[in-house]
Amino acid sequence: MELKDPQDVIEYEYRFRFGSGREHTFVIRLSLPDLKQIKSSSKSKPEWTRLEYEQCPNCTLDEKREPYCPVAECLVEIIDTFKNTVSYEETEVDVKTREREIKGKLPVQKALSSLLGIYMPTSGCPILAKLSPMARFHLPFATVEETVFRSVSTYLLGQYFVMKEGGKPDLELKELKRIYEEIEKVNRSICQRLRNISEKDAHLNAVVILDNFAINLNFLFDKSLEQLRPIFEVYLKKD
């Protein structure tokens, strides 16, 4: 897929540097405004990337039209790169976008989790696509509090546009909770795919981190939102 205008593309570059001297660079390109991943032609599609292999119980794709799982396909390069890396190995990561550069020094599993936070929602999976607007304003190495804030804020902005289109907005976040329940099912199935091929554990643990967030979101929801309430006091004061 070729786009003539560079303004129609957003690009993220993740560069991993290890103490041993090895380096790995991943470049993710997303088309705007649909936020679809611009994928290079894959030479290899392992058996574990087939749609029917540990297929998610809530998958809505048709195997005849989509013989391969879009999430699994986008993970092939990551798996091949980090298959001999343990999760706690420390790495220096540079994340570059058109606007800025962010550096971090952290365990590789956390860095990979951040990378997967772009790859997975923009892979073409219709369930994870609900998170794709967050990829447009990706925040590398985000904390749980930051992720809750971004997730809820993004969802509520989406509900604003629902209202503008004449729909009924979900201001109680009921649908957001259901969305994360569906995401949890996808993450668990992806984890099972990786367990079957895993030599080490870095790539698996990266998905587990995302899965833990999906599992804990409903548990953290009310507590996290209540903790954020004081910073919105300026909106709550009555004149």
Instruction: For 2-22, write each residue's pLDDT tens digit.
Output: 444 556 899 999 999 999 999
The pLDDT of residue 10 is 93
Q: CA angle 180-185-191, nearest 5°? A: 120
Confidence of residue 83 (pLDDT cuts 50, 70, 90): confident
- Over residues 85-106, mean pLDDT: 91
Structure tokens, 74: 């986008």
The pLDDT of residue 102 is 95
Residue 106, amino acid: L
Q: Is the dihedral of CA 121, 126, 128, 132 positive or negative?
A: positive
More confident residue, 42 or 160: 160
| Domain boundaries, given as residue ranges, for the chain | 9-236
Residue 194 exposed, middle or buried by CB count within 10 Å (0-12, 13-18, 19+)? buried
For residues 119 and 78, the answer to whether their CB atoms sit within 8 Å is yes
CB atoms within 10 A of CB 15: 16
Confidence (pTM) = 0.85
The pLDDT of residue 194 is 79
The pLDDT of residue 236 is 87
For residues 154 and 161, the answer to whether their CB atoms sit within 8 Å is no
